[in-house]
Amino acid sequence: MSLDAEKLACLPITMVAPPTHHIAIIGAGPAGCTLGRILSLSNIKFTIFESEASSTARWPGGTLDLHTKTGLAAVKAAGLYEEFLKRARFAGEALIIADKNLKRYLDIGGATSKSSGGRPEIDRHELRAMLLESLPGGVVQWGRHLQSVSEDLTLHFDNGDEGGFDLIIGADGGWSKTRALITDQLPIYTGISGSEFTIRDAAFRYPDLDALVNNGSVFNFGDGHAINAQHIGDGRIKVTDYGVREEDWAMKNSSSAIHPETLKTLLAKEYAGWAPELRKFISVADEEPVLTRALFMLPIGFRWENKPGVTVIGDAAHLMSPFAGEGANMAMADAMKLAEYIKKSATKEALCENVAAFEADMFERARATQALSDKNLRDWFFTPGSPGTVIERFLVREVTQLEGPVAGTLAAAYIYPRYWWMKLWE
């Protein structure tokens, strides 16, 4: 051993202790659980408060595709990528975008292996289960419905108060109670409302519909409406209908207001001119309580003045319509980035400064994604001739969002001539 090596060997080893902050996370969705998982890897103390009674109190529904730079990056930061690969459905990348007559403007097959197109699908319940199982025991408190957060940063639940936190993070959705302490801004109605149905055991009961969905998704637009179908890993097909409607449509047509069969009859009239296969998705759907919803969004570019000790992420910070497929991805990216800011905050003062820096970064990231979602909504539902008249710019926007402006420009040089030629021979 050399002299220098001997000296080095005798030097005391300085261990860098993790920050000693105690973090409160409101909401055990993708954002809250991703944040908790990444914090746990650095031994940072946190508690997640969730209003639902248990992890199985509500079927989280649907499926989503995780994107390389956002959702998948967060999964990797959480050390869960190998587990994700076990649960992902790469065949779920299959996608058809068509009009009301089932004329196809985009038809992408699903991947046959784990080498995908960069947007593997995972069922929402599988994603949630993966994240919850990765958390330390006891960090999630179920059945804690938040009523408000007071100026002294006390959390007021309907079954007791909690306090003493260095940072409160609202991952509690578009109607966030946490956000109310920061700003009085409420979500605004997008003009679109819809309903959600389920077809169980689709492959056995309706093989024709199952083959059309092809383990992936079919999105059909026309006349300010949409009928979409997505394959779920347990054999269900989730069917959603959206349309340009009054804001109270969802309430008037909820399962508590009318029978599901009555709603199906009303929808049959709305979609009378659509392809029989698309109308069948609704007509054969299971007779069970149907979820109806009005779609809301926060204003594009929405931001707030930093308030020390509290922030919000995900839908609570930048609620948008689902027509860019970015909601969960952005939420998980928020969690990943906020965790990094928290981990480098050795003091409470540094924590306040770093949370403010995180918010500034999030505002810029969110603006572009909010704009993308809104442009897609305007194209699909408020542009005559959709989807045929808007498919080119939709695809260019998608490429630009995922790969950057240079890739988007190159894609445009291919996409516009291709569809011009296609439409020429219609």
pLDDT at 116 over 60: no
Q: How many CB atoms lie within 10 A of CB 238?
A: 23
Strand ranges for 84-170 from DSSP E: 95-99, 104-108, 121-123, 140-141, 146-149, 155-157, 160-162, 167-170
pLDDT at 17 over 90: no
Helix (H) or strand (E) holding 378: helix 348-382
pLDDT per residue as tens digits for the range 311-321: 999 999 999 99
Query: According to the model, what pLDDT value does residue 417 have?
Result: 92
Looking up tokens 């804690």 gives 144
pLDDT at 121 over 90: no
**pLDDT-above-70 percentage for the chain:** 93
Q: What is the CA radius of gyration of the chain?
A: 23
- 395 Cα distance to chain centroid: 20
The larger pLDDT score, comparing residue 294 to residue 399, is at 294
The residue type of 420 is W
- 240 Cα distance to chain centroid: 16
pLDDT at 6 over 50: no
**pLDDT-above-90 percentage for the chain:** 78
Q: How many CB atoms lie within 10 A of CB 410?
A: 13
Which range of 61-65, 188-192, 284-288 scores highest in mean pLDDT? It is 188-192
Paired strand residues for 123: 63
Q: Which backbone phi and psi does 168 adopt, to 5 degrees? A: -110, 125
Q: Band of the pLDDT at 164, cuts 50, 70, 90?
A: very high
Query: According to the model, what pLDDT value does residue 93 have?
Result: 80
The answer to whether 292 and 250 are in contact (CB under 8 A) is yes
Distances (CA, A) of 88 to 184, 233, 356: 39, 9, 35
Q: Which residues of 27-61 are buried (b: 16+ CB within 10 A; e: fewer)?
A: bbbbbbbbbbbbbbeeebebbbbbbbeebeeeebb
Which tokens hold the place of 122?
A: 């995972």
Query: According to the model, what pLDDT value does residue 5 have?
Result: 44
pLDDT per residue as tens digits for the range 42-96: 999 999 999 998 887 777 678 888 888 999 999 999 999 999 999 988 877 889 9
Paired strand residues for 199: 237
- 257 Cα distance to chain centroid: 28
The answer to whether 314 and 34 are in contact (CB under 8 A) is no
pLDDT at 292 over 80: yes
Q: Whole-number mean pLDDT of the chain?
A: 91
**DSSP 3-state of 404:** coil
Q: Using CA atoms, how far apart are residues 244 and 225, in angstroms rounded to an integer?
A: 7
